[in-house]
Structure 1
Amino acid sequence: MSAPVLSAPAIRELHELEELESVCALFCEIWGTPANNPPINVEQMRALSHAGNYVAGAYADGRLVGATVAFFGAPIARTMHSHITGALPGHAAGLALKLHQRDWALDRGLHRITWTYDPLIARNAHFNLAKLGGVIDAYLPNFYGTVDDAINAGTDTDRAMVGWDLAEPRVVAAARRESIPVVVPPGAVAALTDRDGRPALGRTDAEDLLVGVPADIEKLRHTDPAAARDWRLALREVLAGLLADGARVTGFHGRSRYVLTRGPAA
């Protein structure tokens, strides 16, 4: 039996206190935080929305299933930074929110959206790079410091900064919901691999490289915190080191590994 086709959630901007309170409750549910310590509070969202920034929600059958908050960044009048996006599974709300966010930014003459994500989470890397066509601009070690939520507790908050150039062919293709090919050069060398659940360092001196991540780091943090910590340090050493050395990420292949090159940009 084929899987049911899900209708796209309805996306709308949010301004009213009751709407923002619902976003706050949804984010607490997703991040596993108490109501008195949400990832972003109602007052902050109210101020951002009132000042003309972007706060939007995704609704399925009248129920809030996703939300996102973004604000204008530098360079002024060209860039927006998407601070937080959360969505319940099973509604394709994350993609719908990002595409709505892109349209909103283009309508205001913006050219670029940035955001951060944990580069150890394979599904997020696939979504940001392979599905949306974003690129990694930088590796940011322990960017948010200590965070007390169910997802990040007990781990350094390393983040990859994603750049989403709204008129780039890859991003335009993503907006049309077209697949974005990820090419693995035939001579690519494994710089970091998964060996029985643990990170194994390889060569980092090749022109084309593959940097692996665990299949489910979030589960590993609960079942084997020491292994999860090893993965954090290994990815920081390898991926951050390669980016600092001039390599660039060209994609995320097979939902399991970053593809990098030191060659010229296409």
Structure 2
Amino acid sequence: MTGVAVRELHTIAEFEDVFRLFDDIWHPEPGGAPITVELMRALSHSGNYVTGAYEGDRLAGASVGFLAAPAGRVLHSHVTGASIGRGIGYALKLHQRDWALARGLDRITWTYDPLVRRNAHFNLAKLGARPEEYLPSFYGTMEDAINGGDESDRMLAIWRLTDPHVLAAVRREPYAPQLPPDAAIGLADRDGHPVPGRTDARTVLVAVPGDIESLRRTDPGAAKAWRHAVREVLGGLLRDGYRVTGFHRKSCYVVEHPA
């Protein structure tokens, strides 16, 4: 990415910069930091993934991951934080991919909040990753400025680094799913509230709220309703053998039955 340099980090001073960056992004409660300086030091020293993205001399993003099962094939990206809207997160992901491929790995995994539209669009459309498991309250209740005490449901995203749609995404060809005319609305957004629909079609669309982070502050009841509705509909479809194949118009998951 023009103007962004991504490199591995190795010193305590660098890890302290990452800690401060993550603190500025999440504003966690005391003791609730997403990762400590000491753990970054241990991960980096043992050959895992700890990197920073720099605009000039300024740290603008960072990512921490570790090797995961099955051994020799997977990097799990534990936490990534970056300034929004300047391509820094994308630069970090491309660096992760190059790092993993250079070590013979074939996939990268990470978790994300399924209610955050921009993250779903980024992961599915811009990167070509696919969510393959719904994980209710994965981290318990998270008390920070972004999660705001919400239950920490997560989707496990799998980025299969050499799949055709991933190679297209790396060429900056975002994936836009083609919907069949008989696609069903499994969950709709009506005036900012979730409205369940049909889930008995081959292709089902599952909406998520426009801005869950603001909704947590302005209408906690609606935010909770969205959390439980998406858990029930999207999580239920995945349990029933459906697969997420895309994110439509930056607003809803495309979920298809493989049969």
TM-score class, shorter-chain normalisation, is over 0.9
Q: Percent identity?
A: 59
2:195 aligned counterpart, secondary structure: strand
Structure 2 vs 1, CA of residues 35 and 144 (structure 1 numbering), >3 Å: closer, same or farther?
Answer: closer
Partner of 1:18: 13
2:131 aligned counterpart, secondary structure: strand
Partner of 1:9: 4
Shift in Å, 1:142: 0.1
Tell me whether 1:79 sits opposite 2:74 in the alignment: yes
1:146–1:157 CA contact under 8 A, matched in 2: yes
2-structure distance, mates of 1:8, 1:182: 32
Shift in Å, 1:34: 5.5
Partner of 1:221: 216
2-structure distance, mates of 1:124, 1:54: 21
Deviates more, 1:238-247 or 1:27-36: 27-36
Partner of 1:38: 33
1-structure distance, mates of 2:29, 2:2: 31
Q: Which runs of 5+ in 2 are unaligned?
A: none
Could you tell me which of 54, 58, 62 is aligned with 2:57?
62
Q: TM-score, normalised by structure 1?
A: 0.95
Partner of 1:231: 226
Structure 2 vs 1, CA of residues 61 and 34 (structure 1 numbering), >3 Å: closer, same or farther?
Answer: farther
Partner of 2:155: 160
1:206 aligned counterpart, secondary structure: coil
Partner of 2:124: 129
Task: Calculate the aligned-residue CA RMSD, in Å.
Answer: 1.2
Q: Which runs of 5+ in 1 are unaligned?
A: 1-5
Tell me whether 1:88 sits opposite 2:87 in the alignment: no
1-structure distance, mates of 2:200, 2:3: 45
Shift in Å, 1:180: 1.8
Structure 2 vs 1, CA of residues 49 and 81 (structure 1 numbering), >3 Å: closer, same or farther?
Answer: same
| Number of aligned residues | 259
Shift in Å, 1:8: 4.0
1-structure distance, mates of 2:82, 2:104: 27
2:96 aligned counterpart, secondary structure: helix
Shift in Å, 1:131: 0.6
